[in-house]
Amino acid sequence: MAEDNLKVLNALDVAKTQWYHFTAIIIAGMGFFTDAYDLFCISLVTKMLGRIYYHVDGAQKPGSLPPNVSAAVNGVAFCGTLTGQLFFGWLGDKMGRKRVYGMTLMVMVLCSIASGLSFSRDPKAVMATLCFFRFWLGFGIGGDYPLSATIMSEYANKKTRGAFIAAVFAMQGFGILAGGMFAMIISAAFDARFKAPAYEVDPIGSTVPQADYVWRIILMVGALPALLTYYWRMKMPETARYTALVAKNAKQAASDMSKVLQVDLEAEQQKVEEIAAKPANAFGLFTKEFLRRHGLHLLGTTSTWFLLDIAFYSQNLFQKDIFTAIGWIPPAKTMTALGEVFKIARAQTLIALCSTVPGYWFTVALIDRMGRFAIQLLGFSMMTVFMFALAVPYEHWTHKDNRIGFVAMYSLTFFFANFGPNATTFVVPAEIFPARLRSTCHGISAASGKLGAMVGAFGFLYLAQNQDKSKADAGYPAGIGVRNSLLVLGVVNFLGTLCTFLVPESKGKSLEEMSGENENSNEAQV
């Protein structure tokens, strides 16, 4: 099919790995670094927010966020992300990838800063403004998903495209790591400067007034990496595939890519018009033809991302509760507010360092050798195995002597999420749909994932509660317990394994070959 393709697109497909590839990875990747930092840092400070704003005099345990507030604070950014993925995904196909790319970054920067500037000292006002700005922060983050993936896929060559898209996504691991490390540094620095007794010694004195600055600083620092890459995002040229196949401007596409690839490329305006006139490039998203060609593909990308994110985000959001349950984090009453942040951040950092970050980079190294399908199938299968291995003998893991084993198993679950579906569900939707619908379809797939994240974030706050209501967190009804929650997640991962069979393999193929954009009227894309 290469002979039917535009020379400018062939040049991109066969280009050797060059400096511009790494520049694109860094520019797009810093957005994902910020995304991960902003989305996951909230789980580090929710316990502190409870202590500061919901303290109850005479209570045996430190204050905690009421269930509805906790669900809102943890989940509102996901609502924004889902909306942003759909809106900016659609806009990226209508206005162009580059024009929309800068908008998403500025929304992220402004709302990261505003998240820490909540008004007044009244708990309701603080939580309301925090939730408001985190919704719009999520809205900006949402736009980064389809745009970063689409830009990277359209810039990359055939041979290493999977690794390049996965490398952009892998920056999430460093974002989670940076969030944990920065929270440790800031909480340790404040703890050293403002000494406080444990809650059981002095309930009010255990939360120093200066602790109110700590959570704000942690949230606001997320703006910095995004701000640093704004100039470079604005300098990136529009992708040749959008310019040629969607905007139908062959001259501009050839000019832009001549500068990027540093070779002379001729404009093929007549060929662009011939490709545009083919029936394969005439159908829209809501048509029978799209359903026939790509319906199962879209079902595959949306269902696998949905199921993956239920498991992935519920694990991240209630991992501090798991660590408490197995004794890795001491009882809250034995710690100060700042000490608790430090210990939760330390646990998250260790998980990121030992499993999350290595998992991402295993995918980067192997995705163009093993293929997307094999890695996703392996990841979902191993997550299923490890979830059941944690859940079935759960009593065994709660004994003090077996805690390290539990954390090792839990880390392996994370490793295979990242060396598996967490990376591949991001890569594949950017490769298998036509250029004029690529950003939209990636946005739909990603939004389906965030719907799963909301199920995980909201649902597991309640599900993971102790079955004995007297042992559940204040304000929560009795749940099904951590063990049964892990069993549910095992079933979810198994369903993800089955849905993987709906997703086609795109290793080593051009984007036009996968989407069928160059095929003649008598050819059919299944």
281 in Cβ contact with 434 (< 8 Å): yes
Structure token pair of residue 8? 């400018």
Look-up of token digits 């909301």: 454
Q: What percent of the chain has pLDDT over 70?
A: 94
Is 172 exposed, middle or buried, given 0-12, 13-18 or 19+ CB atoms closer than 10 A? buried
Please answer whether residues 445 and 298 qualify as being in contact, where contact means their C-beta atoms are separated by less than 8 angstroms.
yes
The whole-number pLDDT of residue 519 equals: 67
Residue in 376, 509, 327, 446 with CA at minimum distance from that of residue 32: 446
The sign of the torsion formed by the CA atoms of 84, 87, 90, 95 equals negative
Locus of tokens 């007034």: 209
The pLDDT of 10-36, averaged and rounded, is 88
Residue 400 pLDDT exceeds 50: yes
If you compute the radius of gyration of the chain from its CA atoms, what whole number of angstroms results? Answer: 24
Task: Give yes or no for residue 324 having a pLDDT over 60.
Answer: yes
Residue 414 has pLDDT above 90, yes or no: no
More confident residue, 276 or 499: 499
Count Cα neighbours of 230 within 13 Å in the Cβ-side half-sphere.
14
Mean pLDDT of 467-496: 81
Any residues with CB less than 8 A from the CB of 291 and at least 6 apart, and which?
Answer: none
Q: Which of 122, 141, 131, 123 is nearest to 73 (CA)?
A: 131
State yes or no: pLDDT of 475 exceeds 70. Answer: no
Question: Is pLDDT above 80 for 15?
Answer: yes
Q: Which of 203, 294, 230 lies closest to 517, judged by CA? A: 294
**Cβ–Cβ < 8 Å for 427, 165:** yes
- pLDDT reported for residue 170: 92
DSSP state string for 391-459: HTTHHHHHSGGGHHHHHHHHHHHHHHHHTTHHHHHHHGGGTSS-HHHHHHHHHHHHHHHHHHHHIIIII
Residue matched to tokens 């690794």: 163
Burial letters for 291-307: b for 16+ Cβ neighbours within 10 Å, e otherwise? eebbeebbbbbbbbbbb
How much is the pTM? 0.90
pLDDT at 121: 79
Q: How far is CA 424 from CA 40, 112, 244, 304, 391, in A?
A: 20, 28, 27, 10, 26
Tell me the pLDDT tens digit for each residue of 325-344. Answer: 666 778 888 999 999 999 98
DSSP string, 452-494: HHHIIIIIHHHHTS-SSGGGSPTTPPP--HHHHHHHHHHHHHH
Whether the Cβ atoms of residue 133 and residue 251 lie closer than 8 Å to each other: no
**pLDDT (tens digit per residue) in 211-269:** 999 999 999 998 998 888 888 888 889 999 999 889 889 899 899 898 888 888 888 88
Instruction: Enumerate the H helices of 286-332 as residue ranges.
Output: 288-325
Which has more confidence, 286 or 120?
286
Q: What is the predicted pLDDT for the residue at 523? A: 46
Q: What pLDDT score was predicted for residue 502?
A: 95
Label each residue of 233-291 as H, E or C. Answer: HHHCCCCHHHHHHHCCCHHHHHHHHHHHHCCCCCCCHHHHHHHHHCHHHCCCCCCHHHH
The string of pLDDT tens digits covering residues 36-82 is 898 888 888 888 999 999 988 888 889 888 888 888 887 888 899 99
Contact 1, 513 (CB under 8 A): yes
**Interval 146-170 mean pLDDT:** 93
d(CA 352, CA 221): 19
Provide the pLDDT confidence category of residue 520 given band limits of 50, 70 and 90.
Answer: low
Q: How far apart are CA 276 and CA 504, in angstroms?
A: 25
Taking CA atoms, 253 is separated from 8, 217, 220, 308, 453, in Å, by 7, 43, 38, 37, 38
Residue 408 has pLDDT above 70, yes or no: yes
